[in-house]
């Protein structure tokens, strides 16, 4: 029994000894491995930092919180791609201004990075600023055939065609622009050859829809490439920038083909001359009008320079197909009876100098509206233009013409997607991040809410502003700062020389008029040699307000006497005193605040 116990004790001692022997090298190896693993982790973290991809920057320079002036910058490391370069039309308070274009100061500072300008379609709010942009920065332009043809017309007009590289890209084609590649995806809009863009970047694919609608029965049978959009969605889309213009409208946008049916009904059994006003760029609409004219044996004549240019370009490129001798010159309309004619014209928005407006006021040199005319305004007024369109309709009706417009018949459909179409786009693409674009703030907000309904997390939706910089990576999106942006006003040949101060002066002059004070002073003594003479423009009619103008002149003489008494001989001080004294006097007398401009000549 004792022997057995000793044996067990020995086994225990041996086991303990063995464990003790094993424990020492295990601890050494453990510590050694722990240090080695720590070094490995540090090395891996360094490599991750070293090989971490740079973020993609998205910088809108126009088209957000506004309608028009669309322009978006995509920047990766030292390379930039620009999408669209559009203009906006002046607002009511921009007196004398012709066009509004984006401020491209940021691109001027980084012009060596620019790889190209990519265009989604040929509307003015997407291509109109290209000539002004190219005068500052000359870059290659990539566009589909019709879009390139419309751009070419602009370049010829501005004498820029020879110095510009304009490359035609087919729908479905992909172009390499450095580290970024741009794929042109067939889309649908109110102008042919529209595309959405899939921008393939090192951090992921970004899709820019451009302007779009979903039309299952388009006039040219060129349906949107749903398959490619879904394929990209299945592979994973980092971000979607989508058109928000019609985001407030529920349901679907009607097909363009429905308008053709309405035209056929209006042309049927009509014995009047038919005048149709529509957007010059709406080639599908023009094609349907021409189809109806041919069907009912009418010749077509075109009014308006922009309409003529677009139709000529579209026919040359094969986008408008008509039998020979369908179009006649406007000077030839007198050789045909009313029931043999259709006149296509610009002016569907009631623009002051457009052909339809001049017809309505009796100022058009070639076309005189009569009670035997049917005038069809195939457009809806752009917000802000309602009163101009109403005025044209009233003028036409007073002449006795029959007028059909959007309130009376379905003679216009939009080229932009409504809510259900926007949901379909979001569902096909399934982006990680969503940026509503091309719209005013309320439209962007409604589009954001639509995106939430289809499952986009609110934290992944960004409502941007022009000039804001967004940085995107595979797993992050954040707004990191701003760049210079805004609007540049084009007035005649001047670009950017009309600013806020000039506009303020123009508004001041338009509201209250101008008073000019002219006097001659001795440069040595400061004595008034001649004058003061008072000239008024836009303030009061002098002959009917002689007493007031005499009082103004007496007030000026009184202020000059005060200056002499105080020993003021500095001309700038004299001018300042004259302006201040006369402003107070005129306001007290008339409750008006005209601009006052003293002119002092020396002898």
Q: What CATH number should be reported for the domain whose range is 513-602?
A: 3.10.20.580
- Cα gap 366→356, rounded to integer Å: 11
CB environment 485-517: b (16+ within 10 A), e (fewer): bebbbbbeeeeeebeeebbeebeebeebbbbbb
Mean pLDDT value across residues 449-453: 97
Q: Where are the domains of the chain?
A: 1-52, 56-251+414-491, 257-404, 513-602
Mean pLDDT, range 514-520, rounded to an integer: 81
With 80 as the cut, is the pLDDT of residue 424 above it? yes
457 class by beta-carbon count within 10 Å (0-12 exposed, 13-18 middle, 19+ buried) = exposed
Q: What is the chain's percent helix, strand, coil content, to nearest 5?
A: 40, 25, 35
How many angstroms separate the CA atoms of 39 and 44, rounded? 9
For residues 32-60, average pLDDT? 64
Span of 87-101, 224-238, 244-258 with lowest mean pLDDT:
87-101
d(CA 384, CA 351): 12
Residue ranges in 218-322 assigned as alpha helix (H)? 226-235, 257-267, 283-295, 305-316
- Quick one: pLDDT band at residue 519, thresholds 50, 70, 90? confident
Residue 327: predicted pLDDT: 94
Both tokens of residue 479?
């707004």
- As a whole number of angstroms, the distance between CA 376 and CA 406 comes to 9
Mean pLDDT of 208-237: 95
CB 474 within 8 A of CB 279: no
Please state, in angstroms and rounded to a whole number, the distance separating the CA atoms of residues 426 and 240: 8
Q: Which residues pair with 327 in a beta bridge?
A: 300
* pLDDT one-digit tens code per residue, 243-275: 999 999 999 999 999 999 999 999 999 999 999
pLDDT at 47: 46
Instruction: Given the residues 126, 412, 416, 447, select the one marked as catalytic.
Output: 416
E-strand ranges in 36-165 read: 56-62, 71-76, 79-83, 99-102, 114-118, 141-143
Rounded to an integer, the average pLDDT of 10-26 is 44
In this prediction, residues 499-520 reach a mean pLDDT of: 76
CA atoms within 13 A on the CB side of 394: 6
Q: Please check the confidence at residue 12 and state whether its pLDDT lies above 50.
A: no
Is pLDDT above 70 for 31?
no
Residues 6+ apart with CB under 8 A from 325: 299
CATH architecture of 257-404: 3-Layer(aba) Sandwich (3.40)
Architecture of domain 56-251+414-491: 4-Layer Sandwich (3.60)
* Whole-angstrom distance, CA of residue 399 vs CA of residue 405: 16
Tens of pLDDT, residue by residue over 473-484, are 998 999 999 999
Q: What is the mean pLDDT of residues 74-103?
A: 88
- pLDDT for 25 equals 47
The rounded distance, in Å, linking the Cα atoms of 208 and 197 is: 5
Q: Which residue has the higher pLDDT, 10 or 518?
A: 518
pLDDT beyond 70 at 32: no
- For residue 588, which phi and psi values (nearest 5 degrees)? -65, -35
Identify the pLDDT of residue 443.
96
Residue with tokens 């259900």: 420
- Whether 416 is a known active-site residue: answer yes
Write down the pLDDT at residue 497. 63
Task: Name the H helices within 180-256.
Answer: 226-235
| CA nearest neighbour of 385 among 347, 357, 349, 360 | 349
Q: What is the mean pLDDT of residues 81-86?
A: 96
User: Which residues make beta-bridge pairs with 186?
Assistant: 195
Mean pLDDT of 126-137: 93
In this predicted structure, what is the pLDDT of residue 542? 57
Pairing, β 273-277 against β 341-345: parallel
pLDDT band at 585 (very low <50, low <70, confident <90, very high): confident
Other CB atoms within a 10 A radius of the CB of residue 275 amount to: 26
pLDDT in tens, 325-370: 999 999 999 999 999 999 999 988 888 888 999 999 999 999 999 9
pLDDT at 350: 84
Q: Residue 206 pairs with which residues in a beta bridge? A: 199, 239
Bridge partners of residue 176, in order along the sequence = 181
Mean pLDDT for all residues in the chain:
86
Please determine whether the domains at 56-251+414-491 and 513-602 fall in the same fold group of CATH.
no
CA 431 vs. chain centroid, Å, equals 24
Catalytic residue, candidates 84, 225, 243, 395: 243
Cα distance between residue 119 and residue 325, in whole Å: 34
């Amino acid at each position: 029994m004792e022997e057995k116990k000793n044996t067990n004790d020995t086994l225990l001692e041996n086991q303990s000894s063995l464990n003790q022997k094993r424990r020492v090298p295990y601890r050494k190896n453990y510590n050694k491995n722990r240090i080695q693993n720590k070094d490995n982790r540090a090395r891996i973290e360094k490599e991750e930092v070293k090989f971490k991809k740079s973020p993609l920057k998205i910088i809108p320079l126009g088209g957000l919180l506004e309608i028009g002036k669309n322009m978006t910058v995509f920047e990766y490391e030292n390379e930039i791609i620009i999408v669209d370069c559009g203009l906006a039309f002046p607002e009511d308070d921009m007196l004398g201004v012709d066009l509004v274009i984006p401020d491209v100061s940021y691109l001027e500072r980084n012009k060596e990075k620019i790889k190209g300008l990519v265009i989604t379609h040929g509307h003015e709010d997407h291509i109109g600023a290209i000539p002004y942009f190219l005068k500052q920065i000359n870059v290659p332009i990539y566009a589909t055939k019709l879009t390139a043809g419309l751009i070419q017309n602009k370049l010829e007009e501005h004498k820029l065609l020879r110095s510009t590289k304009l490359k035609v890209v087919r729908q479905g084609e992909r172009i390499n622009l450095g580290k970024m590649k741009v794929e042109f995806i067939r889309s649908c809009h109110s102008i042919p050859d529209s595309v959405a863009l899939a921008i393939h970047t090192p951090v992921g694919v970004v899709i820019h829809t451009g302007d779009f609608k979903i039309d299952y029965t388009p006039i040219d049978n060129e349906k949107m490439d749903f398959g490619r959009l879904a394929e990209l969605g299945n592979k994973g889309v980092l971000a979607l920038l989508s058109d928000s213009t019609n985001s407030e409208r529920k349901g679907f946008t009607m097909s363009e083909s429905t308008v053709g049916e309405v035209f056929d009904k209006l042309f049927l059994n009509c014995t009047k001359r038919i005048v149709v006003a529509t957007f010059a760029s709406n080639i599908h609409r023009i094609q349907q009008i021409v189809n109806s004219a041919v069907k009912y044996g009418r010749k077509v004549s075109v009014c308006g320079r922009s309409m003529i240019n677009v139709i000529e370009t579209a026919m040359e490129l094969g986008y408008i197909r008509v039998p020979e001798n369908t179009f006649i010159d406007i000077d030839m309309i007198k050789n045909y009876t009313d029931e043999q004619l259709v006149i296509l014209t610009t002016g569907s928005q009631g623009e002051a100098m457009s052909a339809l407006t001049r017809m309505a006021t009796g100022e058009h040199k070639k076309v005189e509206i009569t009670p035997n005319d049917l005038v069809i305004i195939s457009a809806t007024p752009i917000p802000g233009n309602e009163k101009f369109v109403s005025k044209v309709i009233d003028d036409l009706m007073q002449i006795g013409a029959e007028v059909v417009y959007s309130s009376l018949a379905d003679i216009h459909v939009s080229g932009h997607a409504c809510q259900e179409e926007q949901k379909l786009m979001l569902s096909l693409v399934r982006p990680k991040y969503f940026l509503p674009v091309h719209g005013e703030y309320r439209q962007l907000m409604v589009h954001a809410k639509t995106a939430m309904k289809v499952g986009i997390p609110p934290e992944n939706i960004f409502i941007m502003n022009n000039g804001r910089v967004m940085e995107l990576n595979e797993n992050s999106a954040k707004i990191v700062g701003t760049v210079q942006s805004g609007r540049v006003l084009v007035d005649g040949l001047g670009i950017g020389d009309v600013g806020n101060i000039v506009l303020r002066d123009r508004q001041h002059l338009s509201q209250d008029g101008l008073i000019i004070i002219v006097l001659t002073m001795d440069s040595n003594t400061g004595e008034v040699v001649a004058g003061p003479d008072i000239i008024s423009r836009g303030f009061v009619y002098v002959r009917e307000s002689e007493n007031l103008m005499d009082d103004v002149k007496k007030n000026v003489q009184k202020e000059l006497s005060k200056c002499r008494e105080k020993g003021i001989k500095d001309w700038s001080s004299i001018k300042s005193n004259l302006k201040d004294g006369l402003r107070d006097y005129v306001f007290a007398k008339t409750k008006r605040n005209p601009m006052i401009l003293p002119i002092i000549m020396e002898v």
